[in-house]
Chain A
Amino acid sequence: MHLAYPAVLAALLFCTGLYGVLARRNAILVLMSVELMLNAVNLNLVAFDVWLRDTLHSGQALTLFTIAIAAAEIGIGLAIVLMVYRNRGSSDIDRLRDTAEGPDPAGPAGDEASAMAQEAAQKTEAAA
């Protein structure tokens, strides 16, 4: 098999994941795109391992380790997303701007006020 097939497929998958990470708003969709990028790297590792006929099979061992680390990453990432959702009532990453340095000093304060209002609205909703 020509080596260019898996290499090109991995490059295209990686860039698809890159687009998803940059363009998606929901944090869980961002995590899905990260999984796509990790899988592209795994495909590269397997293809080059089979090509080089490594006696230690470093590529395949590293692929297994990457899969395990990705599983750990998705667990921790989802726990963080759920905690953010519980505290803020939203998992949209472009609304989490509390530590952003706004262009004007009134920007962060306004954001904070709207976040507080949102939180209060959510609390009344929960109480109702």
Chain B
Amino acid sequence: MSHLAAAAGQGFLSPTGVEIAFLLVGIATLGAAVVTVTTKQLVHAALWLVVALGGLAVEYLLLTAEFIAWVQVLIYVGSVVVLLLFGLMLTRAPIGRSPDADSGNRWAALTVAVAAAAALVWVVVDAFRTTWIDLDGPVQGSTKVSGEILFQHWVLPFEALSVLLLAALVGAIVLSRKSDSDSAKDKEQR
């Protein structure tokens, strides 16, 4: 068992440099995520989301999945957050503090979230107490490896995904297009 052999030389009390870096970036990521879901300023929530997603990209790099890290930076930080900011702008979100950003059931939500966090962390720590990831050896997430597996073994899902993206594109255009009656009404009002 290679895992047991790897475990023999490692312990909780002697963290490696990668573990310390992972822990620090993880704390920053989690803090940014908590600010994202609790801040009263809507635009700040989107900007803190950038910090959280960027921190996750660094975590992917630390886990040697570099291609996924750059895809994360490109798609999430680059386009999803910009889309969210456009959405906030188009729904005329208030710029300053909005006191009603949280709905009335936030205490119930807090209870559910804390209970789920306690249960999940307990189960995960109990299950993986003696497992170590071996980060040495051949790189597992470089662009070469990712491209080879994606276009050798995962071609069909990849093509299906492009059809899904096309459908989403068409659906978004259809949904956000003004219908003829709407534009006629607008002209009347002007």
Contacts and interface: CB of A to CB of B under 8 A. Distances in A.
Contact of A60 (B91, B141, B158): B141
Given A12-B30, A13-B30, A23-B109, A78 B83 contact: yes
B68 A82 contact: no
A6 B120 CA distance: 13
Contacts, number: 258
B131 interface: yes
Interface residues of A, number: 71
Interface of A: 1-9, 11-20, 22-26, 28-29, 31-33, 35-36, 39, 42-43, 46-47, 49-51, 53, 56-57, 60-61, 63-65, 67-76, 78-83, 85, 91-94, 123, 126-127
Interface of B: 10, 12, 16, 18-19, 22-23, 26, 29-30, 33-34, 36-37, 42, 45-46, 49, 52-53, 56, 59-60, 62-65, 67-68, 71-72, 75-76, 79-80, 83-84, 86-88, 90-91, 93, 100-106, 108-110, 112-114, 116-117, 120-121, 124-125, 128-129, 131-135, 140-141, 145-146, 149-150, 153-154, 157-158, 161, 164-165, 167-169, 171-172, 175-176, 189
